[in-house]
Chain A
Amino acid sequence: KQEVTQIPAALSVPEGENLVLNCSFTDSAIYNLQWFRQDPGKGLTSLLLIQSSQREQTSGRLNASLDKSSGRSTLYIAASQPGDSATYLCAAPPGGGSNYKLTFGKGTLLTVNP
């Protein structure tokens, strides 16, 4: 059974700082891994999806990496802004299984202080 862990559970940084959020998963035979953002009281928004054949995926100030051999993914946020404050969740499918049965981590609550 896939298990997903996110560290840290919460992170508070000053505006402008670069930061890294960590995600680990137990079954590495995955097709992809996804990062989502959740604002308070809202649904999830997909940020990045990294295919198993890729090592990195970038969108603006966000960069996600995937290392299947170590069972880890990181989300790098450059030059953080107060608008980045949200909960970030990673999700992985079962190893070798269908993409739709995602297992989510508990998330990292990010606060960017002005």
Chain B
Amino acid sequence: NAGVTQTPKFRILKIGQSMTLQCTQDMNHNYMYWYRQDPGMGLKLIYYSVGAGITDKGEVPNGYNVSRSTTEDFPLRLELAAPSQTSVYFCASSPGDTRHSTDTQYFGPGTRLTVL
């Protein structure tokens, strides 16, 4: 299994441009997540999905959109890039254990985004 894959690895955007960060998992996990990590800070949850067709906002959703049309894919869309969106973005997935107590998240390698 490749696990969680993300593309691109690096990207530089100009203010106002749009882009989509791709995320794919091959573990048949129900849950998927998008986080951002700013220097010296912990990860902040942007959006998450508990299954195909179901998405919900996390702690910092403003300026982003997501969709989940398949179990495997969970793209993150930036519509009008702003310098405040300069960050490292991580996608993650988890089985979605209904018992809650044992659900471990598996992370992709990240996308480093700079908005100038």
Contact = CB atoms under 8 A, between A and B. Distances in A.
Chain A, interface residues (CB within 8 Å), range: 20 to 34
B31 A43 contact: no
B23 to A, nearest CB: 11
A89 B101 CA distance: 19
A101 B42 contact: no
A100 B106 contact: no
Given A43-B108, A44-B90, A100 B42 contact: no
Contacts of B102: 32, 49, 51
Contacts, number: 66
Interface centre among B58, B101, B104, B106 (most CB of A within 10 A): B101
Contacts of B44: 104
Contact of B104 (A34, A43, A93, A104): A34
Interface in A45-90: 45-46, 49, 51-53, 89
Given A43-B90, A44-B90, A106-B41, A100 B104 contact: no
B20 interface: no
Given A43-B110, A89-B42, A100 B101 contact: no
A101 B104 contact: no
A102 B110 contact: no
Chain B, interface residues (CB within 8 Å), range: 20 to 34
B42 A106 contact: yes
Interface string B30-70: 01010000001111110010100000001000000000000
22 contacts: A31-B101, A32-B100, A32-B101, A32-B102, A36-B107, A43-B108, A43-B109, A43-B110, A44-B90, A44-B105, A46-B106, A51-B101, A52-B101, A89-B42, A99-B97, A99-B101, A100-B48, A101-B45, A101-B48, A102-B43, A104-B43, A107-B42
Given A49-B104, A101-B48, 16 more contacts: A36-B107, A41-B110, A43-B108, A44-B107, A45-B107, A49-B102, A51-B102, A53-B101, A89-B43, A99-B94, A100-B94, A100-B103, A100-B105, A102-B43, A106-B42, A107-B42
Interface of B: 4, 31, 33, 40-45, 48, 50, 58, 90, 92, 94, 96-97, 100-110
